[in-house]
């Protein structure tokens, strides 16, 4: 059965794909119509959305679903840790995007990066215990 955490990771990553594609289209149309050169500050935000919002989150959702399951009652590990991964990653990433758009100081950015790092460590922990081979 497809875990609900993977469903939400994949859905949110596809929303980021749509948002990143629209932002990329805006930046590419800027090259043709030359509206305003100040729009180019959105280029690093576009990269962040496509790499961290779409790509990394898509990989995490797929890996959480496809990695081998445990031979126990909770085959994919702790449900709490999986939800914590989902929430901390997305709250941290949205916070990071808001900070990038509003140009807030780096002290606020540190909090967002800590939340994203916590989620990545949680993902590694969830996957590590599932990658151990079982003895027959």
CB 81 within 8 Å of CB 126: yes
pLDDT at position 97:
94
Per-residue pLDDT at 40: 86
Domain count within the chain: 1
Please give the pLDDT value at position 104.
Answer: 81
Q: What is the CATH number of the domain that holds 15?
A: 1.20.120
Is 47 domain-assigned?
Answer: yes
Residue 122 lies in a domain: yes
Q: 17-21 long-range CB contacts below 8 Å, 24 or more apart?
A: 17/50, 17/53, 17/54, 17/58, 19/49, 19/53, 20/46, 20/49, 20/50, 20/53, 20/54
- Which residue range forms the structural domain that includes residue 95? 4-128
- For residue 82, is it within any domain? yes
Instruction: Record the pTM.
Output: 0.86
């Amino acid at each position: 059965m497809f875990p609900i955490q993977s469903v939400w990771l994949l859905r949110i990553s596809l929303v980021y794909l749509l948002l990143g594609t629209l932002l990329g289209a805006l930046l590419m149309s800027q090259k043709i119509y030359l509206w305003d050169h100040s729009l180019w500050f959105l280029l690093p935000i576009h990269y962040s959305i496509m790499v961290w919002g779409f790509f990394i989150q898509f990989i995490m959702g797929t890996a959480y679903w496809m990695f081998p399951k445990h031979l126990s009652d909770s085959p994919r590990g702790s449900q709490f840790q999986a939800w914590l991964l989902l929430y901390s990653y997305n709250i941290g990433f949205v916070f990071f995007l808001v900070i990038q758009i509003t140009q807030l100081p780096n002290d606020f950015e540190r909090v967002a990066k800590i939340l994203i790092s916590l989620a990545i460590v949680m993902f590694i922990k969830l996957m590590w215990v599932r990658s151990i081979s079982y003895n027959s």
